[in-house]
Structure 1
Amino acid sequence: MTRSALALIHVGFEDAGLLAPVLEERGIALSYVDVPMGGLKGLDPLAPDLLLVLGGPIGVYEEEDYPWLAEETGFIKARLAAQKPVLGICLGAQLMAKALGADVRPGRRKEIGWAPIELTAEGAGSPLSHVSGEITPVLHWHGDICDLPEGAVRLASTPLCPVQAFSIGTHALGLQFHLEACGAPLERWFVGHTGEINATEGVSVQGLRADTAKYSPVLERQGRLALGAFFDGAGL
């Protein structure tokens, strides 16, 4: 029987990225649902072998403007309660944190661009050991931060974001940064997020493009290793 991965997508250009080929190599069929367009209706949160919760430029606390966030949070909460594999990235990690009762709020300022993460002792023994330190900067693109959910283990931090990554057992991983994003596909981000780029001091399309070209080759290799290690631990 073919195993399945369901990706919850919020904007079209923030897709599975590096996750897609890693899943394909493992014989895991990837499908997407468009959450803002009512894609969760009638879906069983426990049905897929893996749930991916991808990014987006809104806050988990904006339910008045985006009422479907409440449904999505409940969907993720049910999945986590069943201890089924979940990987959340950026907004996805924040939704996981909210589903587990942790506070999510705006940070001191936006964190956009390529920069390293600092691993905790637990992080050094986790799949993120493949993307540690100055050798492998990762792409940051968020303005919100979250507290560490109860029962979770903090894996990484940056000066602006104390909880850059957390795990729950071996089945759930939340990443504030974009381990899945690199290379030419980021040109779509530079268009889709142009307003945010122009409004953030010290950030430019030219700078992001140059750093993307510089760091993508290493991140693509090391990111695949990190993702593969998580999938191994989650039994996928």
Structure 2
Amino acid sequence: MNIVEWAVALIDRFGGPGVAFLIALESVFPPIPSEVILPLAGVSAAGEGHALAGMYLWTLLGSVTGALILYGLGRALGRERLRRAIILMPLLSVEDFDRSVTWMDRHGTKGIFWGRMVPGVRSLVSIPAGIYRMGLGRFVLLTAAGSALWNALFVGLGYRLGENWHVIEPYTDAASTVIYAIVAALVLWSLWRLIRRERRRRELGLPDPDEAAMAELDAESERADAQ
């Protein structure tokens, strides 16, 4: 049984709660595609015993629940723990981390809203919102608003197409693949950029900026313990 067959069986058995569970799970585990789950919810809403509005609300509940799980993880991790982790296993430089803080301060609202409509990104965007301690009410509102548009599109398509919803599956799969490829390319580019920076720093005999950052964090921890 593949993911789609499993999702169909779950929706047939549990209806709206099953849809909410699948959408929440998709937020935490991106390989489960919401572009397939949402049309299935629309197809189910067109059948007996279900209503379109009710099924749509279940999808929103799932979207917000999954986002809150990742938001909570980010909040528990915190900015300073993340900064220390980046220094210890440098997937990014401290400068990149500081730039991400500035970007979040300036564009976090747009990132949370529009990120809900991008495969892969919608599973990740909730974590920095928690790390940078975006207000919970604001986060839930932005997540619900972005999810409302995205979910309405695919639930509506599934409802309209009914059992013929499979005709859109190749297009949604292709779009998801392109997005994942872009995200993977960005990660590889960041790693290449970091490796090139380190290689150049060593050739020039320059000090490691991460060592100074780690010393600063250690000093801050000592001051906090002393208080």
- TM-score, normalisation: structure 1: 0.27
More helix by share: 2
Q: Which has the higher contact order (CA 8 A, sep 6+)?
A: 2
> Which structure has the greater CA radius of gyration?
2
More strand by share: 1
